[in-house]
Amino acid sequence: MLMFDNIFVARFNATLMLESLRGKRMMFVGDSLNRGQYVSMVCLLHRILPPNAKSLESSIDQSLTVFRAKDYNATIEFNWAPFLLESNSDNAIVHRVDDRMVKKGSINKHGKNWKGVDVLVFNTYLWWMTGRKMKFLKGKGSFKDEKKDIEELTTEDAYRVAMKSMLKWVRKNMDRNKTRVFFTSMSPLHIKSQEWGGEPGGNCYNETTLIEDPNYWGSENKNIMQVIAEEFGKSKYPITFLNITQLSSYRKDAHTSIYKKQWSPLTPEQLANPISYADCVHWCLPGLQDTWNELLFTKLFYPS
């Protein structure tokens, strides 16, 4: 076992995890950061299974990925839903939309995939951080309509709508005696090295040590944390909060940086300046997200 700031964290036990999931479904719901945590979980589990006792399949649009531990009759799944609500970014393959838009009252669009799940792990944060007001599509209109009935909300108000919708859906559709519901907090960025005393214009590129200042807090939106605290505090369904934000904030060294899949060829200018294309959002695996799953494992088996 490990101790972080007097918090007990159990070492991950893949056999115990699979036994607890025997005959059950576990699902991660959210964006690419939650997909990273999902991939971490699959990696932690699959290594103890023989080749013919496991499989990994994705839907054609990659919105749903399912890992099966056949001897355990268990599945660990990922559902792409970056806003939880229906949005114009719901295509898991082509989702780089500048003018992001969410539909009010639309959580059932993704929620149909969550029914019957025994362990549900939500996240949503990064996609709300556009730096401008969030657009909500009202009524029965389509994102493709030329004329749309739009309401604009501040980031905090928009996020609150999503939290209320998620909590209402969970209360109506989940059996508290059967399903454990988790919510993973904000995954921090390391895109401005000045925040931790680095050189101007830098980011996580070439960072090899963690931040040692225990009081460090990056640019993450504390108002969003307040929204979560307020709305979860009202919830009649028990939601287990996985607070990964501050422990991850110290890990400026843990991002994929330039070592990631590039979806288009890099330009000579980019190649000459690695800082310009370093990914300081996503995380290396094996790595930090394995720690997130150790925290999830601890909360699952040692809830008190």
Distance CA(63)–CA(81), nearest Å, equals 8
Contacts (Cβ under 8 Å, ≥6 apart) of 119: 21, 24, 25, 26, 27, 179, 180, 182, 300
Note the pLDDT of residue 10: 76
Q: What is the mean pLDDT of each run of 10 residues along the chain (304 residues)?
A: 54 95 98 97 97 96 96 98 95 81 95 97 95 90 85 96 97 95 97 94 96 89 94 94 95 96 89 95 97 96 78
Note the pLDDT of residue 202: 96
The set of catalytic residues is 32, 279, 282
Note the pLDDT of residue 156: 97
Give all domains of the chain, ordered by start, each with its CATH number. Answer: 14-93+108-127+156-302 (3.40.50.1110)
Distance CA(72)–CA(282), nearest Å, equals 31
Tokens 């000579």 label which residue? 268
291: phi > 0 → left, psi -120 to 50 → alpha, else beta; which?
Answer: alpha
Note the pLDDT of residue 3: 44
